[in-house]
Amino acid sequence: MHNSATRRDVALVVEKIESLGFQALPMPGSIRTTVGVIGNKGFVDEDRLLHLPGVQEIIHITKPYKRVSREFKPETTLVKVGTQVTFGNGAPVLIAGPCAVESYDQLQHVARGLAQAGVHMLRGGAFKPRSSPYSFQGLKEEGLNILRQVGDEFRLPVVSEILSINDLDQFASHVDMIQIGARNMQNFDLLQHVATLDKPILLKRGLSATMEEFLLAAEYILNQGNTRVVLCERGIRTFETSTRNILDLNTLALIKLESHLPIIADPSHAAGRSDLILPLSRASLAAGADGLIVEVHPNPAEALSDGRQSLTLDQFIQLQAAMGRA
Ligand code: PEP
Ligand code: MN
């Protein structure tokens, strides 16, 4: 719409779109309002809309993802977690913590150090999606209880991964942000159910997902009316096996152009080894990442999962200092 368009002009456009059998989604921006059209199979005839008062231009979105695209909404979406944390405002958000919550003492120890170091959010898996059924599967409900307790103790908002729709209520009551892990990126039933909770979502890229598949997974969440989505590039599988995964900074930078959603990087799962976390963190922020999620363990050698890629607290503090944050 023109920046001079009135509320009534917008309402008339919405009415017209609906009369054509589509859904209209008005999105007021700081300069002008955009009205999204959803539900059209093919091209929408411009002549039906262009003559209406206040209409400036019709932009056809050719991509399969719509609600997540910058064509649809040019301004970066700010995703708030609680009152303290905002993703997408230009200041990187730092999330850190162990891969898995192992005990109250373990989490409390690491969270104290992280809080002192000034991290913004605490991570900790309670339900772990392990490649082998014989590996530690997480403390489950007890893990979520510990995470909530320790998060409250140090005033750190918490994020944890959900694996099943059976656990929706527990996640709703225990965490501030819900993580959908790489292995569940295309679990559409889970995405749609989690979207209905009034919570921000951290959506990790699938191990072999293309950018389009990644953005379409996010589209499932936005299509349920939840726009509080933060994407996470966590490394993909390629022919290269010398590191666990490849941190795909091409896609991270491209997503900043393609989508208005914030995106953070997970150098820990990308590298699979602690000595690459610093360069990959720097590279991610240089490429435009809106934050980082990093695994930190009080004693990585004893960690029940992902010890090789976990930093010690001291290493984490060095990382922050090297990035000019401490
Ligand atoms: C994790 O964050 O510990 C995790 C399992 O991540 P991903 O889903 O990216 O493998
Ligand atoms: Mn992990």
Nearest atom, ligand 1, residue 100 CA: 3
Q: Is the pLDDT of residue 144 over 80?
A: yes
Q: SS3 of 92, please?
A: coil
pLDDT at 43: 82
pLDDT at 61: 84
Q: Taking the CA atoms of the chain, what radius of gyration do you get in angstroms?
A: 21
Among 6-15, 177-186, 264-273, 316-325, where is mean pLDDT lowest?
316-325
Residue whose Cα lies nearest atom 6 of ligand 1: it is 181
Distance from Cα 232 to the centre of ligand 1, integer Å: 10
236 lines ligand 1 (CB under 6 A): no
Q: Is the pLDDT of residue 326 over 70?
A: no
Distance from Cα 308 to the centre of ligand 2, integer Å: 10
Nearest atom, ligand 1, residue 181 CA: 8
Residue 298 to residue 283: CA distance in whole angstroms: 25
Mean pLDDT for the chain overall: 96
pLDDT digits over 175-229, tens only?
Answer: 999 999 999 999 999 999 999 998 999 999 999 999 999 999 999 999 999 999 9
pLDDT at 45: 86
Q: Would you place residue 325 in the very low, low, confident or very high pLDDT band (cuts 50, 70, 90)?
A: low
Stretch 154-164: mean pLDDT, rounded? Answer: 98
Please state, as a whole number, how many other Cβ atoms lie within 10 Å of the Cβ of residue 162.
27
Q: Would you place residue 62 in the very low, low, confident or very high pLDDT band (cuts 50, 70, 90)?
A: confident
Distance from Cα 184 to the centre of ligand 1, integer Å: 10
Distance from Cα 260 to the centre of ligand 2, integer Å: 27
Among 11-15, 21-25, 155-159, 160-164, where is mean pLDDT lowest?
21-25
Q: Is the pLDDT of residue 324 over 80?
A: no
Distance from Cα 83 to the centre of ligand 1, integer Å: 25
pLDDT at 246: 98
Q: Residue 313 to residues 112, 116, 117, 305: CA-CA distances in angstroms?
A: 10, 11, 9, 17
182 lines ligand 1 (CB under 6 A): yes
267 lines ligand 1 (CB under 6 A): no
Distance from Cα 182 to the centre of ligand 1, integer Å: 6
First to last CA, the chain: 45
Q: What share of the chain is helix, strand, coil (3-state, %, to 5)?
A: 35, 20, 45
Distance from Cα 269 to the centre of ligand 1, integer Å: 7
pLDDT digits over 285-308, tens only?
Answer: 999 999 999 999 999 999 999 999
| Among candidate residues 268, 299, 274, the one with its CA nearest the CA of residue 105 | 299
pLDDT digits over 238-261, tens only?
Answer: 999 999 999 999 999 999 999 999
297 lines ligand 1 (CB under 6 A): no
204 lines ligand 1 (CB under 6 A): yes
234 lines ligand 1 (CB under 6 A): yes
Q: What percent of the chain has pLDDT over 90?
A: 89
Q: What is the model's pTM?
A: 0.94
185 lines ligand 1 (CB under 6 A): no
85 lines ligand 1 (CB under 6 A): no
pLDDT at 323: 84
- The dihedral built from the CA positions of residue 29, 34, 37 and 42, taken in this order, carries a sign that is negative
| CB contact at 8 A, 293 and 246 | no
